Amino acid sequence: MNNHHPKKVRVGISSCLLGQEVRYDGGHKNNPYIVKTLGEYFELVPFCPEVASGMSTPRPPIQLRETEQGVRCVGVKDHQLDVTDQLQHCVSQQDHWLASLCGYILKKDSPSCGMERVKVYKDDYPNRSGTGILAHYIQEHFPLLPMEEEGRLGDPHLRENFIQRVYVMQRWRNLNAEGQLNVHNLTVFHSQHKLIAMSHDQHLAHDLGRLAASARKHNLNEVAEQYGLELMACLKKTATRGNHVNVLQHMQGYLSTKLDKEDKTELIDSIENYRQGYLPLIVPITLLRHHFRKMPDPFINRSFYMSPHPEELAALNNI
Ligand code: SF4
């Protein structure tokens, strides 16, 4: 099975999460899991939009606020202090390195970095409907780029989902690197990721298969562009236990004539125990890896489903 992963993947990150003292109060929000664990596998590229746009540290805190000109980023105490244009201009100058990333980890709740549910004030009342200026820019200009907030990475399912998307994005970037994209390679890429897509959404995975199969020399670029968008949208949906069970049973089908009765029963029990929540996903996967090592299959060999990211990240152990 496919378990080749590049050494380090470039991932952008809010600087304060790396311990850099760039917050409005001169502090930081060091996140040990990101720094120590993800930092082993990700080349973390720090960026603080507020500092990069010329603000000092420390500085007056800012917030999103509804105004007659729409939602603006203004001072918490002095609403006349409007830094919206300054921040927007700064983030619009970052495409040269944003384009090289395979993911982005953002500080939650920040009017500059927050990915979702950032407080937007109207008079003295906040509603959580905002997106930070940098996060909004990335969503608009780099729609394929996996993004996640540091707080959500504490959830094992969201964490695994983000790490998986980062590695898929890395392979997608490699495929689209100069000279690599052709009809054959797109088909291979789809077969490598078909089971992963199925674990997120069976219907979307089916549509992706049809889309990849429609690629010809004359329409390759349009199909690939659409495929990238649809694949990343599919993977954004959190994989469900039911979909994983379907994928595991699908793989089990490749072994149906090869396993003896005892091994077959053990595998079926392991999938059923996972379905009922008694075992984590890694258990039936480990069993399947063992059988496919002894009885290789070309489709399973190509697939990244059983090794979507480096084993040492242990991201499959708690889902
Ligand atoms: S702007 Fe972003 S990176 Fe800078 S301190 Fe605020 S949350 Fe951290």
Q: Give the Å distance between the CA of 17 and the centre of ligand 1.
A: 8
CA-atom Rg of the chain in angstroms: 22
What pLDDT does residue 315 have? 79
Q: What pLDDT does residue 6 have?
A: 66
Q: How far is the CA of 62 from the centre of ligand 1 (A)?
A: 11
| Ligand 1 centroid – CA 16 distance (Å) | 6
**Residue 183 burial by CB count (10 A; 0-12/13-18/19+): exposed, middle or buried?**
middle
Q: What strands, in cross-sheet order, belong to the sheet with 125-130?
A: 70-75, 62-67, 118-122, 125-130
Least confident of 6-15, 57-66, 205-214, 237-246: 6-15
Most ligand 1 atoms within 8 A of CB, residue of 110, 133, 149 to mutate: 110
pLDDT at residue 3 in the model: 65
**Closest to 267 (Cα-Cα) out of 247, 283, 246, 244:** 283
Q: Which regions of 21-164 does DSSP assign to beta strands (E)?
A: 42-47, 62-67, 70-75, 103-106, 118-122, 125-130, 147-149
- Ligand 1 atom with minimal separation from the 46 CA: 3
Q: What is the pLDDT of residues 153-179, one digit of tens each?
A: 999 999 999 999 999 999 999 999 978
Residue 306's pLDDT is 96
Tell me the per-residue pLDDT of 40-81, one tens digit each, with 9 for 90 and over. Answer: 999 999 999 999 999 999 999 999 999 999 999 999 999 999
DSSP 102: S
| 308 upstream amide cis, omega within 30 of 0 | no
Q: Which helix (DSSP H) or strand (DSSP E) does residue 179 occupy?
A: none
Q: How far is the CA of 86 from the centre of ligand 1 (A)?
A: 15
Residue 5 has pLDDT above 90, yes or no: no
Q: Domain limits of the chain?
A: 9-153, 245-313
List all residues whose CB is within 6 A of at least one atom of ligand 1: 14-16, 22-23, 48-50, 107, 110, 112-113
- Ligand 1 atom closest to the Cα of residue 112 is 1
pLDDT tens-digit series, residues 107-160: 999 999 999 999 999 988 999 999 999 999 999 999 999 999 999 999 999 999
Q: Which residue has the tokens 């540290």?
A: 57
pLDDT in tens, 295-311: 999 999 999 999 998 88
DSSP 82: B
Report CA-CA distances (Å) from 49 to 113, 132, 273, 312: 8, 10, 47, 32
